[in-house]
Amino acid sequence: MTSPINEPSCPTLRRAVAVEKAEFVDTYGREPEGLWFAPGRVNLIGEHTDYNDGFVLPFALPQRTVAAAALRDD
């Protein structure tokens, strides 16, 4: 697995990544193999139409999702 997050430049994102990584280690007892980030988004109009060539009006949210993952040993 290749992690798209190398070294975040935003201090808030750096903290979020550090928290997610620490939670992963506390839960699974090992480092994650990858960390991923997705910004928040809301559609004002056009829900579920953008992938069908429809019109949408999305805007970004300050909330984000950070996920950590690793392959299982089994």
Would you state the torsion angle of the CA atoms of residues 37, 20, 65, 51, taken in this order, to the nearest 10 degrees? 50
Per residue in 1-42, pLDDT tens? 455 556 667 888 889 999 999 999 999 999 999 999 888 988
Contact criterion met (CB below 8 Å) for 47 and 58: no
Chain centroid offset of residue 45 CA? 24
Give residue-wise pLDDT tens across range 47-70: 778 788 888 898 889 888 999 999
pLDDT confidence of residue 11: 87
